[in-house]
Every structure is written in C-alpha cells, then in structure tokens.
Amino acid sequence: MSTTASGRPGEEAQVDWGALRALAQEAMGKAYVPYSKYPVGAAALLDNGRTVSGCNVENASYGLTLCAECSLVSAIHMGGGGRIVAFTCVDGAGEILMPCGRCRQLLYEHRAPGMVLETVSGLRTMDQVLPDAFGPEDLEK
C-alpha cells in the first residue's frame, strides 16, 4: 500500500509502506533479545529521503533495554539527521506493533510535520497517537 505523507510544508513524499515494513523486518532480524526472545524492528522514511531502521537491544538488567525506536533515532543522528515522515514497527512474526508511550514521545520529538505511523488500527498521524504532546516547542515558551 502506498500513500503520501507530508515531509516538509508544501511537499509530498511518496511512502511505500511495504518496503518500509520490509526494512523493519530486516532490522528485526538483527535484534539482540536473549532474555525475552521478542525481537522488534522499526523503520522510518525521513524528510530528506533517507530511510533508517533500528532493532531492540536487551540487557540483563531489563530496565536498560533499548527499544527499536531508540536505535532508529540514534541511526537518524549518526547518519546526518532528518525528521521522520513515515514510521512502522514490527515484531518477530512481522506483525505491526504500536510504539509504547515512551517511544511515541521519542518519535514525536523527531517527527516532520504531518508524520504518519503504520499502526495496528491503520495509518495514523503522530498527533492522533500522541494528542496534546509536550515537546521542544513548549520549552521555548
């Protein structure tokens, strides 16, 4: 399924959700999950046209586990930056996952205007999955 998502004001970016999901599945295959055995992969299209991915990385203390969204955001910054236009996340069976609240907040901070997520209930904007969010703009007030 293809759709469009706003990357920058006045521009439309074509989103190939199947390809984005495939990238997330590839990332999921690299997850380090010796404790939970629950691999997760995430992928995003950025406003500069790049795609990035990430996987979860567990730790024996559990509380220090990194979600796939965390490694994805790290990859964004390590690769030169950009803002997320479209995002998807999958489990070990390739099924769509909804990011947890913590990860929604993380994604919110790195979103492009109009960011779209592939969710268990269809395509949703960031504002729909995290309404009335607190972000960097609030710190500037």
Residues assigned a catalytic role:
69
What's the CA gap between 109 and 25, in Å, rounded?
24
8 A C-beta contact, residue 57 and residue 38: no
- How many Cβ atoms are within 10 Å of 128's Cβ, its own excluded? 12
Amino acid at 137: E
Measured CA to CA, the distance from residue 69 to residue 102 in angstroms comes to: 10
